[in-house]
Structure 1
Amino acid sequence: MYSLKSNQSIFSSSTIALAISSVLYASSASAANELVTTETPETEKMEVIVVNADFSNISLDKMPSSVTVIDAQQIEDEGAQHFEDILNGIANFNWSGGSSRPKYFQIRGVGEQEQYQGAPNSSVGFIVDDIDLSGLGMVSSMYDMQQVEVLRGPQGTQYGANALAGLIYLKSNDPTDTFEHGLEASLGDDDLQSFAGFSSGPITDSGKLLYRVSLEKHNQNGFRNNTYLGRDDTNKRDEFTARAKLRWYATDDLQADLTLLHANYDNGYDVWTLDNNGFDTLTDQPGVDNQKTTGAGLKFTYTGAENFVLTSLTSFAQTDHEHAYDGDWANPEYWEGKTCNEYDEDWNVIGSEPCVYDYIWDKEGQRKTVSQEFRFSSTQASKLFNDTTEWLVGVYALNLREDNDLYSEYNTWPDEVLQSEYEATNYAIFGQLDSQLGNDYLLSTGIRFERRDSEYSDSNGDYFKPSESMWGGHIALSKTINTDHNAYVKVARGYKAGGFNMTLPPELSDKKEFDTETLYNYEFGIKSSWLNGNVDSNFALFYMDRQDQQVAASIQDPVNPQRFLLFTENAGSSSNYGAELDANWYATENIQVYGSLGWLETEYGEYTYNDKYGNPVDLSGRELAHSPNFTYSLGMTYFADSGWFVNVNANGKSDFYYSDSNESKSEPYTLVNARVGYETQTWSAYIWGRNVLDEKYGVRGFYFGNEPDLDWADKQYIRYGDPRQVGITFDYKFM
């Protein structure tokens, strides 16, 4: 009989709770990698996920942190192909649809909505198998994925400047000591074609050298119909992902893990329409959204010393990316049929003429990151304070370089032309103590000191060379109330480096630079098991105090309306508070129900900015952008003894502001997905549907003037998410 419980297709207290006190040891690239899955004795019939960042094998339900872990079974149950397919089910999590795939994220209302110029400075860390892709989150295929982890709140001890809001970590499956292979194929509407496969096993007879390789090729048209060009693929998704892992047991005391990643996303970008129809576009020069990433991670773990365990992690990533769009969202014939006013030097209307409007925007970038980390952690023989306290110390260095080439053209004339070079080097030392205080109390304290030196120059003459020292950390106290309940309180301090604004006109010279942002997170949580383990829940309350909040602002140039002035400034302070709940219920051996609920309140402190006409706009007390008050999800999986199965899940959000620079808002929405099929030990076949009710929902919005025939009057424009899609998948696994 198939048992949902034994396959752990749930959000459970043993699979969701992840402690900041453990994973905050090092850079997120290394700490998140330490999440592994092991099985408890057979009589328990349960998998237990433990955290090995502190090498103490503490189970996740004991850890003081608000974390969602989505395991391989749920990814399979929901038929997810990409991170985009599961992210809406994560409490207090949102994303900004300014790219072909999600790459700008918000956790608890903190994060970016876009990045149009080159000086990367993310609020949400994004790691794929120890490779740091923060701000480049597009390449996130779910094929052969072991689990997805979303850590909420600042990760000041473990990761530092790039995880002010939290961390997303994607961990693919590891090599196996026995041979296993698989193939998968999917077909669906929107001309979907997806083919994937993996192979894993030993390379040597001794079993000391293991491998795993997975490949996926995904193609579809992208749900847009360009009526001007007569094409339905101008918003295409042409995505290739390859992963390879080698594990070498060099000696009894030394293990080496090599991870390789190559992803080539050659996607289109044609999503904006003047009439807000959203799916019938008119562009003559459709945009692109490409990303080619090659990365590697090399990890050594040495356990041969009596008083410490040494972990070394080296990582490298090189990314070529391009984002381009047709800025007038139409074509010459469209505009020639419109009439535009003529003005004198005092802006008095003196006549009219046929409109001429043609605008393209294109940015190419090359980013390279190299990092090295060494960690020393305690053994049983070197615990402190009468063997009650485990310790960890480490050092970390990161070098990031990004070159950008920006070109835009307005009515055949160059508009914005900018070549820039950026480099940042971070050095950090960090440490953590985890102390057993008796009576089932655990005290975790951690601190990180980080130095950041950066340099920027561009072809317009801007030059910046800021340096700063920052620190973060946490203190958490957890208590095992009984075998079914664990509670914790935590205070964490996170930080995000300051920076600068390039290509600003003289009237905005006072906004050339902005300061470091600091975030204090206060959290209480309880992780529980009910009804003899058939119900698991994870609940957290939090309050976030943001000081010197960094706000991304934009102003449309009233003289050159095709151009926007983009800058970041400090907004004083803001506060976010709310709660998260993840729950799972094994109703029977064959039925599992799971869900999540997020409640979020956000508010600016004192913040006023000037609009494009110089008029002050006061946002004090207003909610932050991309911060819905409620996020929710509910799912059910039924697996019959005969092999038939069905999964139905729904997720949604309340309305939210699209931007910090205007008052335009989304509509609330709920998306329903379904999957039904048949499974054996070796193969499965199923029909699936995403957004089966064909809900029309916004994922990004702008409020500005983009129509010269309307005198560039401000108007709300919306980019919509994917409509209904139905497909069929066949999966085959063999030894």
Structure 2
Amino acid sequence: MFTKKSIGLHQTPIALAVITALSSPVAMAKTADVERVTPEYEKMEVIVVNADFSNISLDKMPSSVTVIDAQQLEDEGAQHFEDVLNSIANFNWSGGSSRPKYFQIRGVGEQEQYQGAPNSSVGFVVDDIDLSGLGMVSSMYDMQQVEVLRGPQGTQYGANALAGLIYLKSNDPTESFEHGAKVSLGDDNLRTLSGFSSGPLNDSGKLLYRVSLEQHNQNGYRDNLYLNRDDTNERDELTARAKFRWYATDDLQVDLTLLHANFDNGYDVWTLDNNRSNTLTDQPGIDAQKTTGVGVKFIFTGMQAFDFTSLTSFAQTDHHYAYDGDWANSDYWASKACSVYDDAGAVSGTEPCVYDYTWDKKGDRKTLTQEFRLSSKDAGRILAGSTDWLLGVYAMNLKEDNDLYSEYNTWPDEVLQSNYEATNYAVFGQLDSHLGDDYLLSTGLRFERRDSDYSDSNKDNFAPSEDMWGGHIALSKAINANHNAYARVARGYKAGGFNMTLPAELSDKKQFDTEILYNYEVGLKSSWFDGEVDSTLALFYMDRQDQQVAASLQDPDSPQRFILFTENAGSSSNYGAELDAKWYLTENIEFYGSFGWLETEYGQYQYSDKYGSTIDLSGRDLAHSPKFTYSAGMTYVADSGWFANVNASGKSQFYYSDSNESQSEAYTIYNARLGYETPTWSAYLWGRNLFDEQYGVRGFYFGNEPDQDWADKQYIRYGDPRQMGVTLEVKFM
């Protein structure tokens, strides 16, 4: 089905002019009839939220959820999750990696994870395989939809979803054969080759398969002038999926999912002069991740009162992250003059600078999950047949070994080998009661036990254990056939933890407490004008208690080194709204858009900077929490087969860190895709960041220049510049 999105609340005159031009009959000449399914307003597509236990439809789910379906992914030409995340209201990411890996939902989430005890605030799941904290392996090829559930999901994935859950669902096997291939070429030496095949494996049609493969390469937009190379920031990304579905009996369905991703990317983005095109490093960084995962799902429907589901997943990931910490080379630094100090600390002269710093961490993570759940059928409803129920148990074991080595002026600086293991056990339940008069009361509760163990070569040993609970209560009301309102209260949690390798003066920060988050939300999901306009609106307030804050201090005695630790702030509060809308203007034109408003504020929180001064952040906005996020787009498909999509997205300014006052600048980026479609082949011309907007996605404020006596300065990592390309796609049965 050809999904269509509304233009939303924000649009500039430039974008409107482009949309008008592309929509005009002159721009879309007719050459040949081609069939593309368009919406029938009285028979709108039902979008199912797969991440929810009950696979509830989006318009009935009593919480704030954004779903980006396959048609929008195709219309916008999304190759990676990075290409669509800006269209999600109140969603942000931290650009300290080659691909988005750390996410923030409504201002809650990690900005980086340099040390070896992962515990993500935002859950990230691909086809039921838990990859939380490993989000960079997220190709959009052959993807059915992207789902973002906001707020605590305590009866879903527990501690992995304090802030919310990102769920990627790829296409399932089909009962008839279908195959396809796609090639994209573009500047920056972009080359993407993709293909899929799906259908039955036997004559009975009880065993189905689907396989897809994508290889993506590009140079990475940076020219390393010192090494005379243009590929030190390259993307070399392989993604392979295989899914099998076996209808073993009339009552038993078995799904097997295999995933292999090998992202062997460079990481050469930081410069001393904030140049987004040219770098000077002599040892460019690495950001590589190799993930192999498997998921097995059994669904048994043979019981009269309930269905039984078993879900097992395993993922093994090798990750390697390294960077050139001096952001230059020995010749560059030798050309600079650094101060020489006498025994009294006074400047006694200058000499050529010597500065060479590298940081390198390799990790091996294994995650095993097992879930069993029982969900009632109509015959199994309780309380006089008014209430559906669900019961489940969940277990997760995560192991990660890390090997960290950094070197400063040829001498080992930070050297650390660590071993970490965490095991979670949980029991959960949910009741959905039909109260009459179109009221539905949903209550959920989850109890979880977490045991963890950490040890490293610096003789740090921690073994905390704790019991936690979360849940929700939601009341929804079908006002009429077109409007559904809800109110929801949810309690989420994130386990406490520990800080390793701290100096003696920070010994009081060795451990930190569990964070509790209460989310209060009301919303309205509506269909207007006989289904021509759909909208979802949510208003929320979040109360974070014992908020976990990631802090960092530059060591004044060893300025190349940072001391990283997590501590608890007294509290913080976030509130705001999300709006998603789409407008089917005609059978050929769709507008779509989103708008997010977010207010964040620390409660009582103070910290000491590297000079020992007290910094008070009480009342300040949280990091990576822009007040406004917005997107708008239009898709036009002529009856003749000509196609156009124009979309824009942007953010207001936001703080880069909780440890300084460095801020981004507001930005809006524009993309477009023009093409011609037939039932068997399609061709497109596309452009991203059409006006070559320079926008920051990560920033630091510290001293990294010894010739400037390590004076603090803002350094920015910028997003991708303008890129143009072509895509040719074929599909056949």
Which interval holds the TM-score relative to the shorter structure?
Answer: over 0.9
Q: Which residue of 1 aligns with 2:342?
A: 344
SS in 2 for 1:154: coil
Counterpart-to-counterpart distance in 2, 1:51 and 1:268: 35
SS in 2 for 1:460: coil
Matched AA of 1:271: V
CA contact (8 A) 1:310 1:376 kept: yes
SS in 1 for 2:493: strand
Counterpart-to-counterpart distance in 2, 1:693 and 1:546: 39
Question: How far has the Cα of 1:540 moved from its partner?
Answer: 0.3
Counterpart-to-counterpart distance in 1, 2:609 and 2:54: 54
Q: Which residue of 2 aligns with 1:258?
A: 256
Q: Which residue of 1 aligns with 2:667?
A: 669
SS in 1 for 2:46: strand
Question: How far has the Cα of 1:346 moved from its partner?
Answer: 3.8
- C-alpha deviations, 1:196-241, integer Å up to 9, x for none? 0000000010000000000000000000000000000000000000
Matched AA of 2:265: N
Q: Which residue of 2 aligns with 1:639?
A: 637
Q: Which residue of 1 aligns with 2:31?
A: none
Gaps of 5+ in 2: 9-36
Q: Which residue of 2 aligns with 1:402?
A: 400
Matched AA of 1:393: L
Counterpart-to-counterpart distance in 1, 2:277 and 2:50: 47
CA contact (8 A) 2:492 2:517 kept: yes
SS in 2 for 1:170: strand
Tell me: CA distance 1:156–1:228, structure 2 relative to 1, closer, same or farther (3 Å). Answer: same
- C-alpha deviations, 1:76-103, integer Å up to 9, x for none? 1101100000001110000000000000
Once the two structures are superposed, the pairs formed by residues 559-598 of structure 1 within 5 Å of their partners are: 559-598=557-596
Counterpart-to-counterpart distance in 2, 1:391 and 1:487: 22
Q: Which residue of 2 aligns with 1:114?
A: 112
Question: How far has the Cα of 1:46 moved from its partner?
Answer: 2.8
TM-score by length of 1: 0.94
2:470 to 469, 472, 477: 472
Question: How far has the Cα of 1:9 moved from its partner?
Answer: 3.8
Q: Which residue of 1 aligns with 2:34?
A: none
CA contact (8 A) 1:590 1:638 kept: yes
1:220 to 215, 218, 221: 218
- C-alpha deviations, 1:672-724, integer Å up to 9, x for none? 00000000111100000000000000000000000000000000000000000
Q: Which residue of 2 aligns with 1:29?
A: none
Counterpart-to-counterpart distance in 1, 2:165 and 2:342: 53
CA contact (8 A) 2:606 2:617 kept: yes
CA contact (8 A) 1:54 1:377 kept: no
Query: When the two structures are aligned, how many residues end up with a matched partner?
Result: 705
2:3 to 3, 8, 13: 8
Matched AA of 1:682: T
Matched AA of 1:705: G
CA contact (8 A) 2:90 2:628 kept: yes
Once the two structures are superposed, the pairs formed by residues 308-319 of structure 1 within 5 Å of their partners are: 308-319=306-317
Matched AA of 2:2: N
SS in 2 for 1:206: coil
Q: Which residue of 1 aligns with 2:265?
A: 267
Q: Which residue of 2 aligns with 1:139?
A: 137
Tell me: CA distance 1:554–1:346, structure 2 relative to 1, closer, same or farther (3 Å). Answer: farther
Q: Which residue of 2 aligns with 1:422?
A: 420
Counterpart-to-counterpart distance in 1, 2:200 and 2:256: 15
Counterpart-to-counterpart distance in 2, 1:54 and 1:566: 36
Q: Which residue of 1 aligns with 2:153?
A: 155
Counterpart-to-counterpart distance in 1, 2:645 and 2:265: 30
Question: How far has the Cα of 1:62 moved from its partner?
Answer: 1.4
Tell me: CA distance 1:55–1:287, structure 2 relative to 1, closer, same or farther (3 Å). Answer: closer
Once the two structures are superposed, the pairs formed by residues 532-551 of structure 1 within 5 Å of their partners are: 532-551=530-549
- C-alpha deviations, 1:303-335, integer Å up to 9, x for none? 111222110000000000000000000000000
Counterpart-to-counterpart distance in 1, 2:50 and 2:276: 47
Counterpart-to-counterpart distance in 2, 1:294 and 1:585: 40
Q: Which residue of 2 aligns with 1:372?
A: 370
1:294 to 292, 295, 299: 292
Flag the structure with more relative contact order, 1 or 2, with Cα contacts below 8 A and sequence separation at least 6.
Answer: 2
Counterpart-to-counterpart distance in 1, 2:7 and 2:583: 9
Matched AA of 2:676: Y
Gaps of 5+ in 1: 1-5, 14-38
SS in 2 for 1:275: coil
Matched AA of 1:511: K
Question: How far has the Cα of 1:597 moved from its partner?
Answer: 0.4
SS in 1 for 2:281: coil
2:240 to 239, 242, 246: 242
SS in 1 for 2:282: coil
Question: How far has the Cα of 1:45 moved from its partner?
Answer: 4.3
Tell me: CA distance 1:41–1:291, structure 2 relative to 1, closer, same or farther (3 Å). Answer: closer
1:180 to 178, 181, 204: 178
Question: How far has the Cα of 1:53 moved from its partner?
Answer: 7.4
Once the two structures are superposed, the pairs formed by residues 356-395 of structure 1 within 5 Å of their partners are: 356-395=354-393
SS in 2 for 1:48: coil
SS in 2 for 1:50: coil
Does 2:161 align with 1:166? no
Counterpart-to-counterpart distance in 1, 2:589 and 2:440: 36
CA contact (8 A) 2:52 2:156 kept: no
Question: How far has the Cα of 1:59 moved from its partner?
Answer: 2.7
1:93 to 84, 88, 91: 91
Question: How far has the Cα of 1:278 moved from its partner?
Answer: 2.1
CA contact (8 A) 1:12 1:537 kept: no
Q: Which residue of 1 aligns with 2:452?
A: 454
Counterpart-to-counterpart distance in 2, 1:673 and 1:237: 21
Question: How far has the Cα of 1:350 moved from its partner?
Answer: 1.9
Tell me: CA distance 1:73–1:54, structure 2 relative to 1, closer, same or farther (3 Å). Answer: closer
Counterpart-to-counterpart distance in 1, 2:341 and 2:704: 18
CA contact (8 A) 1:241 1:264 kept: yes
Counterpart-to-counterpart distance in 2, 1:385 and 1:40: 43
Counterpart-to-counterpart distance in 1, 2:265 and 2:442: 45
Q: Which residue of 2 aligns with 1:434?
A: 432
CA contact (8 A) 2:395 2:425 kept: yes
Counterpart-to-counterpart distance in 1, 2:185 and 2:195: 15
Q: Which residue of 2 aligns with 1:24?
A: none
CA contact (8 A) 1:518 1:546 kept: yes
Question: How far has the Cα of 1:49 moved from its partner?
Answer: 2.1
Q: Which residue of 1 aligns with 2:648?
A: 650
CA contact (8 A) 1:435 1:442 kept: yes
1:613 to 586, 611, 614: 611
Once the two structures are superposed, the pairs formed by residues 199-210 of structure 1 within 5 Å of their partners are: 199-210=197-208
TM-score by length of 2: 0.95
SS in 2 for 1:636: strand
CA contact (8 A) 2:7 2:633 kept: no
Matched AA of 1:472: G
Q: Which residue of 1 aligns with 2:725?
A: 727
